[in-house]
Amino acid sequence: MSYQVRHSPSRSLIGEYYFNGYYTKSYCPPFHHLNSEKVLHMKSSMSHQGGQNKGGIDHGRSKKVSFAYPSSVHGANGAESVYDDHWYQHTYYGVRTDRKNNSLNGINAKNTMQDLNNRLQAYMEKVHSLEQENEELETKIAEWHVNNPPRSPPDMRHFLQTIRELQNQVSLATMENARIVLKAGNAQLTADDLKSKIEMELKLTSDAEKDVGVLQRVLEQINQERQDLEKQLQCLNGELTNLKNTHEQELKEIRAQLGTRVNVDVNAVPSIDLNRALTELREEYENLMEKNIKETEDLFLQMAAELDHNISSGPDQLEKVDNEFIGLKLAVQTLEIELESQMNVTSALEGTLAEIEETFGSKLSQLQSFIDDIESQLEYVRSRLENLNKNVKLLMDQKTHLEKEISTYKLLLDELVDYWTADCVYF
């Protein structure tokens, strides 16, 4: 046995009933104010099992009854009220028995139909009550909307303007910070370069000082050798003077032995023809003059030809010179721009160097003050040590003096004991 309720196209309920192969249909008038957008499936089925008879019961097949109703209720103004979906499931399982149990199955079917009709009536009453509650809620919502109209949003334009200004300030501050970081990085690189240059200069200075020391030693050796050579030269000059004096004395002695006799022989030179010599000299100078005039004419003609050639090629050379002048002018402008940029870099480096010198000067002054403090403390410690040394020396002198006095008193006591011992023996 099974029973199913469904909606017809005219939104009415149609109940379909199956029992042991028989098919029947029941009809229910349409609901008012119902919409089937959301459907509450109510499946109810009941299970009935017949008693056993002598012939036995055939449990060959079970039947199922199911209902489906909408769960969306619409009011008169079209507003929708949606409620929670509930499943009502009751399954009726029928049994197929022999033909003797057909009357019992018919009674069970009637009871099932009556139960289903009662449930459907209760459900319809609940739907109507929910519709009324939905209408009341819609009325309250409409009144609330009338009493509480939507408010216009506040004017935020001045806040937006302030936010834009702050964003611009933040972007400018970020750019300035990036520029400062870049300058700091450049300054750090410049400082590193200067540090490396200073280290290189210090190394070169130390090498130069070493070379100067070596050269000074070499110079001292050279001066020593020069002095030795001067002494040797003086000795040699003295020996040379002695040799000259000895030679002169020997010459005087030889001259005195030979006497003052002198023989002079003169060979006469043959006379010269002056006219012939003047003629030859005149001819030589005339030939030389003609040769010079010819060479001058040839040189003049050559220079004139070169000048004509230069005059003919003057415009081309002038254009070439103009192009070279323009190129040189552009090169000069480029070099001036580079010079200006280098001067700017130099000024920036000088400023950085001044800042570094100022920083290192302040650090150096701090270190100098620290060194002065340490030196003053050392001087104080030195003075205290000197005072302690003086006190120690004084105490040592006193100790020595006391030891001497103790030894003296000991000798006196020994002598006194000996004297008393001698007296006692005598008596």
Query: How is the beta sheet containing 13-19 ordered, strand by strand?
Result: 2-7, 13-19, 22-28
What is the per-residue pLDDT for 17? Answer: 45
What is the per-residue pLDDT for 155? Answer: 67
258-288: pLDDT as tens digits = 654 444 444 544 555 667 777 787 788 788 8
353-375: pLDDT as tens digits = 888 888 888 888 888 888 888 88
Closest CA to 72 of 22, 108, 116, 36: 36
* DSSP secondary structure letter of residue 378: H
Residue 50 near residue 101 (C-beta atoms within 8 A): yes
What is the per-residue pLDDT for 344? Answer: 83
Query: pLDDT-based confidence at 151, cuts 50/70/90?
Result: low
Contacts of residue 194, Cβ cutoff 8 Å, sequence gap at least 6: 353, 356
pTM of the model: 0.23
Average pLDDT over residues 40-55: 38
Using the structure block, give the residue that is written with the tokens 């459900």.
123
b/e for 356-385, b at 16 or more Cβ within 10 A? beeeeeeeeeeeeeeeeeeeeeeeeeeeee
What is the per-residue pLDDT for 178? Answer: 81
Contacts of residue 355, Cβ cutoff 8 Å, sequence gap at least 6: 187
86-121: pLDDT as tens digits = 333 333 334 344 444 555 566 777 787 788 888 888
What is the per-residue pLDDT for 18? Answer: 45
294-337: pLDDT as tens digits = 887 787 788 777 767 766 666 676 677 777 778 777 878 888 88
Q: How high is the mean pLDDT of the chain? A: 69
> Which carries the bigger pLDDT value, residue 407 or residue 262?
407
DSSP 235-269: HHHHHHHHHHHHHHHHHHHHHHHH-S------PPP
Residue 17 near residue 112 (C-beta atoms within 8 A): no
What is the per-residue pLDDT for 166? Answer: 81
Length of the chain: 427
Q: Per the structure block, which two tokens stand in for 68?
A: 């489906």
Dihedral angle, C-alpha 210, 216, 222, 224, nearest 10 °: -130
